[in-house]
Amino acid sequence: MSDFSIKRNLDITQYVLDTSAIIRNPEILSFSSQDTKLVILTPSLAELGMYSDRSGQNELQQLVNRALEAGLVKAIDVGYPSGQNQAKRSSKAVDTSIVAYVLDQLSEGIKTVCVSLDKDLLVPLAKRGAAITPDEFLNLHKKNDTAVPAATIGLAEFQHRAKIWLAVNIVASALTAVACILAYKYIDTLLKYVFVFKWTSAFVFTVMMGVFFYWIRQKYRIPYAVTEITIGIIAALTSVNVSGDFPFKIEFDVNTSIKLAGGFYIIVRGLDNLGKGFEGRRAGIYWQRYFG
């Protein structure tokens, strides 16, 4: 049963907010009114809790917590489906919980709609008229002017920081890509200074660079991912010897195949890290939609 006491009241609609809807359109949290009740299920809250920035702060979860404290959104404890382990709770189990809750509410005569971008939710619930996208929700409620002041939950500040995060990562990614290209171009000069004390300096340099790149990966996942992708592209392109005029003659042997495969692998690793860097961000919604 819902804590809103809205059973069989056709004038009140209960909207279940999926994680994807909150990430893409956090302004949804401010659209609560007498006839519009917003709820977030505990599995979705747990999923939101997985996303933290480089300082360990989870601004999205803090935004949701402020909306909960202000009474704009209600948390509903539904637990997880039995038999689900911790690793799977962030994906299918969350969708299963939402679908089960919405269908249960509908069976009790409570008008309930899921707001999501997730096809696994939209497809089964749309058949019951119980699913809409965030854009559809906003278009419906902006006409009624039902939003509370965004300052109540610090929405404007959150959106401003999100734009800064995006700009910083774009600039940092561009700089790392340029740095990789320059390092490749002047690799002979760099190695000459690295090996000035022969193997001792080479060992120290290798360890330091390994630790440095690991730190970058942990703190700045997206620029690190772009670095991997750039290195992978350089490795793949330089592994193949092309000579002559068009049509070019390509020298291809076992060693070339191994180097080319290595370049492809580095690119894949970079794309994997890029996807992880987008988690909990609006860009991550689109990444998940196209790459799964």
Q: pLDDT tens across 152-186, in order?
A: 567 777 778 778 888 888 999 999 999 989 888 88
Closest CA relative to residue 96, chosen from 113, 112, 78, 110: 78
Sorting pLDDT into bands at 50, 70 and 90, what band is 233?
very high
Q: How confident is the model at residue 83 (pLDDT cuts 50, 70, 90)?
A: very low
pLDDT one-digit tens code per residue, 147-161 = 555 555 677 777 787
Residues of the chain above pLDDT 70, percent: 78
The residue behind tokens 């009740």 is 37
Question: Average of pLDDT values for 103-114?
Answer: 90
- State yes or no: pLDDT of 267 exceeds 90: yes
Q: With bands split at pLDDT 50, 70 and 90, how would you rate the model's confidence at 7? A: very low
- What residue type is assigned to position 271 of the chain? L
pLDDT digit string, tens, across residues 251-262? 667 788 888 899
Region 3-10 average pLDDT: 47
Q: What type of residue sits at position 2?
A: S
Distance from first CA to last CA of the chain, Å, rounded? 33
At residue 194, the pLDDT reads: 66
pLDDT above 90 coverage of the chain, percent:
15
Nearest Cα residue to 14 out of 128, 129, 143, 105: 105
Q: Count how many Cα atoms sit within 13 Å of the Cα of residue 273 in the half-sphere of its side chain.
A: 23
pLDDT exceeds 60 at position 100: yes
pLDDT, tens only, 62-71: 888 888 888 8
pLDDT at 199: 67
The pLDDT, as a whole number, for residue 223 is 92
Cβ count within 10 A of residue 166: 14
pTM attached to this predicted model: 0.69
Helix (H, G, I), strand (E, B) or coil at 30: helix
- pLDDT band per the 50, 70, 90 thresholds, residue 27: confident
Query: In this structure, are residues 177 and 227 in contact, taking their beta carbons and an 8 Å threshold?
Result: yes
For position 56, what pLDDT does the model report? 47
| pLDDT tens sequence across 38-68 | 999 988 888 887 765 554 457 778 888 888 8
Residue found under tokens 């000459």 = 192
CA atoms of 73 and 56, how far apart (whole Å): 24
**pLDDT value at residue 184:** 86
Mean pLDDT of the chain: 79
pLDDT at 6 over 60: no
Distance between CA atoms of residues 249 and 247, nearest Å: 7
